[in-house]
A and B are shown apart, each in its own frame.
Chain A
Amino acid sequence: RKEVEQDPGPFNVPEGATVAFNCTYSNSASQSFFWYRQDCRKEPKLLMSVYSSGNEDGRFTAQLNRASQYISLLIRDSKLSDSATYLCVVSHANFGNEKLTFGTGTRLTIIP
């Protein structure tokens, strides 16, 4: 089983719609959780951290469910500029260092 699993998509969604992705992780000792966004042939960029209480940043909401070991990302009122691959990222301590494990990403295309 992969440490971090995501549905690769692609998800094709009309502009203005709400879209949600889930991600599951296998290491119950994982400590920190993130969503990164990666545009085609570019570097990943931190979108948001995911907190146990859930957090919101504008149209983006992230949730963490430690009991079921999954993380979700909700995008409301989707824009054409939201088209990208979304990477789920999990960290855990590794001999005193925090190691990030990246999912393979979920590809989202917003259709006009």
Chain B
Amino acid sequence: DGGITQSPKYLFRKEGQNVTLSCEQNLNHDAMYWYRQDPGQGLRLIYYSQIVNDFQKGDIAEGYSVSREKKESFPLTVTSAQKNPTAFYLCASSIYNGGPEQYFGPGTRLTVT
């Protein structure tokens, strides 16, 4: 089955620790995205990548880092510099130069205490 997987579903970390969230897709999509969702707010774009070895900052990139070494994978690291890391993190993908529709993974709920 084609799709986007994110792991783990729930993640708990102590403040001051970096944590990496996984995102893998087998849809052969070129573009991948990371969003965070907070209660009462729309999804906000953290980073996106349209091609391997290239990525761009979104609207709220501070305190986050990404890599895109393979087309299928786009991991997100939440660093200790991120002031409010507790959130629902969603990875998405789309066909580059196709329609702008994005398809989402099941998300990771990160809680930092």
B105–A104 touching, CB < 8 Å = no
A-side binding surface: helix, strand, loop or mixed? strand
B99 is contacted by which of A32, A41, A101 (Cβ under 8 Å)? A32
Q: Type the 1/0 row for A85-109, where 1 means its CB is closer than 8 Å to any CB of B.
A: 0010001000001111111110000
B-side contacts of A49, CB under 8 Å: 99, 101
Question: What bracket does the count of chain B residues touching chain A fall in?
Answer: 20 to 34
A97 is contacted by which of B43, B50, B104 (Cβ under 8 Å)? B50
Which chain B residues have a beta carbon within 8 Å of chain A's beta carbons? 35, 40-43, 45, 48, 50, 56, 88, 90, 99-107, 109
Q: List 22 A-B contacts (CB under 8 A).
A: A8-B40, A34-B101, A41-B109, A43-B90, A43-B107, A44-B43, A46-B101, A46-B102, A49-B99, A49-B101, A87-B43, A97-B48, A97-B56, A98-B100, A100-B100, A101-B42, A102-B35, A102-B42, A102-B43, A103-B42, A104-B42, A105-B42
